[in-house]
Structure 1
């Protein structure tokens, strides 16, 4: 009978499930991971709610870094941030496969294995979206001087974006709000960034932008209109470089 470990859709949840599956000594054919609230029960499967903890997640993290290497760790970590529901099984399957090959640090070269291939694809998708958002993300200054940005990503990329902006804006107070996953990256000037749920966010205050922000927003939109050449407009090419779902939160596409 196949044993399915039920966890939350988070890095801590997935790594805690991997911890339990690894400890059981089962192979990928006899165990799997499903997410709480998305369980579709199948015949001949035993479902087990796991106890999630930072201790288990850290133990798995250390194991990956020690036995699979840093490259595999980042691929697995990025895959855990993916929007795809099969990511738990893919990560578990790739790690169990690493246990079978002579050199576990070469696991991400085994793309012929379906689970390793999925981890690689999901990692590349997450990394690509995070890379694009580093350029497409737009901060606006609120009345209190805090820089605030909204994003609507497909994947959970906040933990990929926050270190980037923490390095570039270390002396600023800023927030990045992921509307799709209801999470916020918070950074206080001179301190480390933290991740929080949107329960802590006062949405009313995020609509009150400063006068300077209002002025520079108009200047920026005017500049973008001025440099455009109508005769050379190519919407299809523009969408390849800047997909439509990014434009919702970009100043230059705000009609207000």
Structure 2
């Protein structure tokens, strides 16, 4: 039996609840995203309708059994956006409940390790983004950062910047997924965001970026330049939004003609 959920975290947890209560078989039953599901003449399927109460019961059970760290593994692995996340989670929980509270440390078990791999990938990239995200100052004293992470990270890196930049107004824009984290000076929140086609940068922004590029160029030791090593530490896919790897922004004409 294939169980099809709506792709949300709540939908996946609802599917887990129903699979456990329907005594799904770990060998053959799957929990899949309905949006990417390939219909098969020989396979029966059931649509999972997201249910907040059922999802909450699963989340509470995970938290009670495996603690906050265990729930973090489950949540972060969802942010990997694997098409078979639901099936991997079902196998993980089936095995983990048998092993008990320390199950997330049993990495020699395939069912545990398969979820943990997704979790570690998300953690690694989220830590990287805390260091390489670049903010640009807009004309209304709002700081704007755009990026295209491999995984869905915005909701887990936003609290860091809400703490570090609590005296600023800022936006973190995931241009790949069309979602943004907004901070209004008191709290942050997520919401869909369209492409910013009319960004108005402050008069000072180009100057700051030029200074940063000069600093980056001058601290480099010419004799020790190693592009291959640099790409190993900073994969080229992240260079698109790095100030030191891009052209300096030009303030729009509207910035220099305002009263």
TM-score between both structures, scaled by the size of structure 1: 0.90
> Which of 231, 249, 252 is the equivalent residue of 2:223?
231
User: Which residue matches 1:87?
Assistant: 85
Secondary structure of the residue aligned to 1:51 is coil
Please state how far the C-alpha of 1:84 moved relative to its aligned partner: 2.4
User: Which residue matches 1:178?
Assistant: 174
Secondary structure of the residue aligned to 2:141 is coil
Give the aligned length: 248
Which residues of structure 1 form unaligned runs of 5+?
A: none
Aligned residues of 2:7 and 2:35 also touching (Cα < 8 A): no
Whole-Å Cα distance in 2 between the matches of residues 57 and 180 of structure 1? 28
User: Which residue matches 1:122?
Assistant: 118
User: Which residue matches 1:71?
Assistant: 69
**1:35-184 matched pairs, under 5 angstroms:** 35-42=33-40, 44-101=42-99, 104-184=100-180
Residue by residue over 1:102-151, the C-alpha shift from the partner in whole angstroms, topping out at 9 and shown as x without a partner, is xx212112323322111111100000000000001011111111111111
Whole-Å Cα distance in 2 between the matches of residues 253 and 5 of structure 1? 45
Secondary structure of the residue aligned to 2:241 is coil
Whole-Å Cα distance in 1 between the matches of residues 228 and 125 of structure 2? 19
Give the CA RMSD over aligned residues. 1.7
Larger Rg: 2
Whole-Å Cα distance in 1 between the matches of residues 166 and 6 of structure 2? 32
Aligned residues of 1:171 and 1:189 also touching (Cα < 8 A): yes
Aligned residues of 1:79 and 1:122 also touching (Cα < 8 A): yes
Which residues of structure 2 form unaligned runs of 5+?
A: 249-259
1:193 aligns with 2:188: yes
Whole-Å Cα distance in 2 between the matches of residues 148 and 159 of structure 1? 16
